[in-house]
Amino acid sequence: MSQTTLTGVRVASEAPPRSRQILLRNLLGHDWAAAYVFVLPTLLLMGGLIAYPLLRAVYMSFTNTVSLKIGPLVGLQNYQNVWSDPSFLSAVKNTVVYTFWSIFFKFWLGLTVSILLHRLKRFGGILTAAILLPWIVPSVVAAIAWKGLLDPVYGGINQFLIQTGLVEKGFPWLGSVKTAMPSLIMVNVWAGIPFFVINILAGLKSIDKEYYEAAIIDGASSWRSFLHITLPGLRYVIIVATLLSTIWTFNSFDMIFLLTGGGPVNATRVFSILAFDAFGAARYGVAVAIAISMAPILLIFIFVLGRYMSAGSRQEERPTTETPSAVGRVLAGIAWPVKLLINGLIALFFLVNNAIENLLAAISNAFHAAFVGDSLTRQRSARVASRRITSVVAFVILFIFVVFELMPFYWTLITAFKTNRQMMEPHFWPSPWTLEQFQLLLGPTRKFTLWYQNTIVVAFVSTLVSVVIAAMGGYGLTRLRWRGANFFASSVLIAYLMPPIMMFIPMYQIFTTLHLTNSLTGLMVAYPTFGLPFATWLMMGYYASIPREMEEAALIDGCNHFQAFWKVVLPLVMPALVAASMFSVTLAWKEFIFAYIFLSKDRLYTLTIGMAQMIVGDVQPWGELSAAALLMSIPVALLYIIGQRYMVAGLTAGAVKG
């Protein structure tokens, strides 16, 4: 192109030739220019806070690092020492046992409760809200509640067993080698079942009722309908929810650290606790090597999760010439035998199930012929009796489950309003109710109000940063066409699911060098490491559900991508912004490990660290801790009550919804 100046001389235009624009679009994608602007803040923040520390951690695992400076290279020596150490092998075994049994019980109990709640015509919303409470409370609150319940002397469970005559003296649930791991699994199941309930309930509501009606007409039993309608309809939700919960459980640290610290006698020492112990001994290279040794297992789960989420996504397919990466092909090859094994087990299950069903059908027919006969009255009476028995059983199961989920909250509530003397007595109701514990907590000897203020400031700032950048990044990754979008979208999921135990060691070194430790600013910078990937992932699910025609109409009317984003798309995803903000605030409010590592001055503590530091050795002020737990839970509970539907939608839209 050229243009004529005032003097009449024709010169080349500064604008690039159209052929160059076409070439760039072919190489980088149709919307590459706008996409880079939208995604750049996300890439910079994730690159600086996640990618660089991760690469630094990998390098550090090959060094003998025992200080803030990376030490000399030692090759594979750290990994050789780790894998030849019996304590590491024991920690891996504990991790597998803890993860397997936790997921097993969470899945089956969550599925059972979800089906019962779905069929419940009354009080379903109230019961669902009650069941979901354990999932949103901070881990330190849950740990305080369960430590109080399981205390060998004053714990509610032991007091109940003694008063009912089942035992003569209290049992050290968390202090015995035989019961410490089962107790931890129970607490993890208690906290994790709500996640399954949320997602399975959403999946059940999406199954067309006409399928069940057709099955009834064909004479299918309730069990047959469950196997061939309910489970296939929930297949995507079950797989994604189970994989997510498996990754979270495998990476568990906070609850185990707060309840047992890996004891007694290393009975609950999982790999994250072992890595933390190595960090405490200033063996940084070994600590990172322990964490990275578990990374291949996590990557397999993340790879399978990403495949299912991509398959279940409703977003419009983008034209792309990208081919599967070498890593993807390797992981697919590793996962293939596992997939084959699962398919074989499913086929075996149906084979055995059909045989059992045929046997039970024969017994039922024989019973029917012998005792019921052909009388219509008897048949109707039998059906009515069967429905009543089923309803009673369902009610009993739900009642027991709700009691189990609310029991720690009840114990925390009554403990907070007891005097110190009352806590030594086996009573399940304060008599009289008193504010003594709150007065001690808010008195001059504690800095609880300052901790509260610190937590609010850090949670607000980190949430604002995460949500604003996630809104732009999610739009660029989901709505714009550019080469590399699929790769970076997958990277968001990987970044979100990376174990914190792998990240905090290099981040601690970096933040110490930058003088960001022992400051609230450091936490504000660190918290987006988990808030930003989660918020971006959440926003991507919402963006994908918006019809692309609305955006295209705005572009045709003369809007550019930024105007279309601001005027058309953003107003439609306001519920998503609310959900992402609520989840980000909740995550920042309950965060433990970064604050525990970065802060050592009590005036800078957040609530989670301040409450944990209130326990000094064997001195555990249960009354003050319970009062603190209640005060810490109030904002989260109010936030949940006000925006419950947004939080539920956030988990089921795009993230775990097919």
Q: What are the average pLDDT values for consecutive 10-residue runs of the chain, which has 658 residues?
A: 46 55 69 84 88 91 89 93 94 95 93 85 71 82 89 84 82 90 95 88 83 79 79 84 88 91 92 93 92 85 69 44 52 63 70 71 64 56 66 82 89 89 80 89 87 94 92 88 81 79 86 90 89 85 79 79 83 83 88 90 91 75 89 84 65 47
Provide CB contacts within 8 A for 140, sequence distance 6+.
254, 258, 590, 592, 607, 608, 611, 612, 629, 632
Please give the torsion angle defined by the CA atoms of residues 512, 516, 517 and 523, in that order, rounded to the nearest 10 degrees: -130
Q: Which of 485, 541, 548 is nearest to 316 (CA)?
A: 548
Copy the structure tokens of residue 417: 């309003």
pLDDT at 543: 84
Q: How far apart are alpha carbons 166 and 161 in whole angstroms?
A: 5
Provide CB contacts within 8 A for 427, sequence distance 6+.
none
The shares of helix, strand and coil residues in the chain, as percent rounded to the nearest 5, are 75, 0, 25
Convert 17-68 into a string of H (helix), E (strand) and C (coil). CHHHHHHHHHHHCCCHHHHHHHHHHHHHHHHHHHHHHHHHHHHHCCECCCCC
Q: How far apart are alpha carbons 157 and 403 in whole angstroms?
A: 13
Regarding the domain with residue range 36-62+447-613, which homologous superfamily does it belong to in the CATH classification? MetI-like (1.10.3720.10)
pLDDT at 576: 82
Provide CB contacts within 8 A for 492, sequence distance 6+.
42, 46, 473, 477, 533, 536, 537, 540
Task: From residue 461, give the alpha-carbon distance in Å to each of 65, 243, 286, 542, 582.
Answer: 33, 31, 34, 23, 13
pLDDT at 88: 94
CB-based contact 67:282 (threshold 8 Å): yes
pLDDT at 118: 83
CA 601 to chain centre: 30
Helix (H) or strand (E) holding 2: strand 2-4
Q: How far apart are alpha carbons 618 and 627 in whole angstroms?
A: 19
Task: From residue 74, give the alpha-carbon distance in Å to each of 53, 185, 509.
Answer: 20, 38, 19
- 373: number of Cβ within 10 Å: 10
Q: Which of 499, 658, 382 is nearest to 53 (CA)?
A: 499
DSSP 604: G
pLDDT at 164: 82
Q: How far apart are alpha carbons 409 and 156 in whole angstroms?
A: 12
Provide CB contacts within 8 A for 251, sequence distance 6+.
272, 298, 497, 499, 500, 501
10 beta partners: 4
pLDDT at 26: 67
Q: How far apart are alpha carbons 28 and 367 in whole angstroms?
A: 71
Domain ranges of the chain: 36-62+447-613
DSSP 619: B
User: What backbone phi and psi angles, to 5 degrees, belong to 2?
Assistant: -145, 165
pLDDT at 457: 95
**Considering just the CA atoms, what is the radius of gyration of the chain in Å?**
28
Q: Which of 195, 653, 650 is nearest to 467 (CA)?
A: 650
Please give the torsion angle defined by the CA atoms of residues 538, 109, 132 and 651, in that order, rounded to the nearest 10 degrees: 10
Q: What is the number of residues in the chain?
A: 658
pLDDT at 8: 45
**Angle between helix 52-60 and 284-293 (nearest 10):** 110
pLDDT at 317: 41
pLDDT at 183: 94
Helix and strand element counts for the chain (H, E)? 34, 2
Q: SS3 for 69?
A: coil
